[in-house]
Amino acid sequence: MPRPRRTRSRSRSATPNSQETPRDAAPRVLSRDEKRELILAHAAARKPLKPRDRMTLWGGVAVCVLFIVGAWAVTVQSGIERLSAQSTDSEIRDLLDTGRSLSADLQQATASDKTELQAGFQDIQGSIQLEVEKEQARETLRKMLKGETNEGATPPEPENLPAEEGVTSTEDAI
């Protein structure tokens, strides 16, 4: 059986004898006295909270806090266990093995090896000192050749200077 079709209902404003309902009316502004009466009526209607209700409220808050703290503790504990149980990365493991082997090699160095190293360091230090002294002598010689000395001495003649190896002229020495 077919359903009956609904017809469009006419709006309320279209009907000539419609009356305004409280929902359609504009909100009414209350005077100060009316507002005060309304506030006092609501305050008088309030019931004081019973001690049992207050205990129930705080009991519920305590249960929620315990639940949240317990869940957080379980989560943190499982995360710590997972991190400690997780195997280290192979590259990190290789790096640690290399460090251990280097440490063992250094500890096995004999006294003679240490003495040889110290002698080598002294040789290097001596050659560096010699090069520094040579460079200082060259710089002093350059200043003397250019007449920049403060001592008032005359520069030596280029023919009287000792020749360095591979140097054929005064310009090459400078």
10-residue mean pLDDT series, the chain (174 residues)? 61 54 72 93 87 90 96 86 66 79 76 76 85 90 78 54 55 53
Instruction: For Cα atoms 150, 155, 161, give the angle at the middle one, nearest 5 degrees.
Output: 130
pLDDT attached to residue 32: 92
3-state SS, 6-62, equals CCCCCCHHHCCCCCCCCCCCCCCCCCHHHHHHHHHHHHHHCCCCCHHHHHHHHHHHH
Q: Domain extents for the chain? A: 30-104, 123-154+168-174
**Residue 159: what pLDDT?**
55
Q: What is the pLDDT of residue 24?
A: 65
Q: Count of CB atoms within 10 A of residue 143's CB? A: 13
Question: Of 101, 79, 81, 98, which Cα lies nearest the Cα of 90?
Answer: 98
The pLDDT, as a whole number, for residue 147 is: 80
The C-alpha atoms of residue 162 and residue 148 are separated, in whole angstroms, by 20
For the record, the structure tokens of 60 come out as 């519920």
